[in-house]
Amino acid sequence: MPYDQAVSDIPVGRSARRIPILIDCDTGIDDSLALLYAVASPECELVAVTCSAGNVDARQVAENTRAILELVGRSDVEVAIGRETPLARALVTTPETHGPRGIGYAELPPARMPLSARFSSDLIVEEARRRPGELTLVTLAPLTNVALAVLREPELPRLLRRLVIMGGSYRSPGNTAPTTEWNVSVDPEAAKLVFEAWAPIGSAVAGSDVAGPVAFARPIALGLDVTERAKFLPEHLAALAARAGCAPDGSIAGGAASDMPGVNPVVRYLADALRFYMEFHSRYDHFYGAFIHDPLALATALDQTLVRTEAVTVDVELSGRLTTGETVADWRRVWGRPPNLDVAIEVEVARFMARFIERVGDLAAGLAG
Ligand code: BDR
Ligand code: CA
């Protein structure tokens, strides 16, 4: 499908109910793209954003998150910070992947909007209690905040509509160690705690195949198995820029927007952030482009038909010599334990990419001038 073709196949009329979304992120280049996608999506009610340490330290995450929201005129969204270290380990960040400040080569004005007075995990619990069964929590970061939230409120799985996780690697190699994915490997204790908290005690709702009185849906987990199929390439950036009404000659595809006066501010941000991310992938993954893990998870939270999932029991390795942080999936059910995750195994990448380009391109176009 050509990138400039309209693909708004989710009708969202004025009266349609929007999907209330809470995002937990460690912004991060691909996290920032997920935030843009959320703001650009008419069916998304962005309830709040909680910040986790991960790609950069938690204070820088909160700075980046607010700066991005301000860039697109959403300083009304509550942004909270929480614990600044993983549950049981020292924080490791990844400047080589996302740049020293987490947004590649991009420069954004310092954030002006205030940080929430609420602690991230308190915010998650309070919002879930305020709207029981309504909120979808999308995690794009280590699971530290969610683990603390479920420790405070063990009913959290029942209070949320669904948990959608970007994290783990279930049938694919890792991206941090040979078998581990970044978000889980930064705070494996938190991931284990969350996966166990959502282990079914029994359920009669879709997304769980265990009979019993307790109803909550299994989390959807998008691991590298599917997120590494979402490769954002220079041609995608050129298509998005064209949709936003700039660089009709495709010159933006090189990614260097900061020296092009008059470029749309969202396109400028994307070009400068993605140039860094694409250089990283070219060094480590041997293609000039970028995996956009986090926007795919966010898009899936809004439209689950983008992926096909399989229910599986997953545990997290905490004491391996080579494998700490590995998400061990019991595909053959040798443990005899009920599945606790719906792991994404197939994804409609072209549909997702076209939708990303259309929506974020239109968001940028609407903010021009
Ligand atoms: C995850 O790690 C982070 O670097 C990305 O933002 C994404 O959430 C992919 O492994
Ligand atoms: Ca992330």
Nearest protein Cα to ligand 1, atom 10? 182
CA of 321 to the centre of ligand 1 (A): 23
- Specify which residues 127 forms β-bridges with: none
- Which atom from ligand 1 is nearest to the alpha carbon of 29? 6
Residues 29/100, Cβ–Cβ less than 8 Å: no
Q: What is the pLDDT along the chain (369 residues), one digit of tens a residue?
A: 333 333 344 445 445 789 999 999 999 999 999 999 999 999 999 999 999 999 999 999 999 999 999 999 999 999 999 999 999 999 999 999 999 999 999 999 999 999 999 999 999 999 999 999 999 999 999 999 999 999 999 999 999 999 999 999 999 999 999 999 999 999 999 999 999 999 976 443 445 554 454 578 999 999 999 999 999 999 999 999 999 998 766 677 777 777 777 789 999 999 999 999 999 999 999 999 999 999 999 999 999 999 999 999 999 999 999 999 999 999 999 999 999 999 999 999 999 999 999 999 999 999 975
Domains of the chain: 18-228+309-351 (3.90.245.10)
In whole angstroms, give the CA distance from residue 279 to residue 281.
5
Token pair recorded at residue 242: 């064209």
- pLDDT of 258: 76
Residues 181/224, Cβ–Cβ less than 8 Å: yes
- Which atom from ligand 1 is nearest to the alpha carbon of 31? 6
Token pair recorded at residue 187: 């705070």
Is the CB of residue 21 below 6 angstroms from any atom belonging to ligand 1?
A: no
Is the CB of residue 24 below 6 angstroms from any atom belonging to ligand 1?
A: no
Nearest protein Cα to ligand 1, atom 4? 55
Probe ligand 1: pick from 56, 140, 172, max atoms within 8 Å of CB? 140
Q: How many whole angstroms from its chain centre is CA 308?
A: 18
Is the CB of residue 55 below 6 angstroms from any atom belonging to ligand 1?
A: yes
- pLDDT of 72: 98
Is the CB of residue 104 below 6 angstroms from any atom belonging to ligand 1?
A: no
Token pair recorded at residue 186: 């930064």
- pLDDT of 251: 73
Probe ligand 1: pick from 293, 298, 327, max atoms within 8 Å of CB? 293
Is the CB of residue 225 below 6 angstroms from any atom belonging to ligand 1?
A: no
- pLDDT of 200: 76
Is the CB of residue 281 below 6 angstroms from any atom belonging to ligand 1?
A: no
- pLDDT of 256: 73
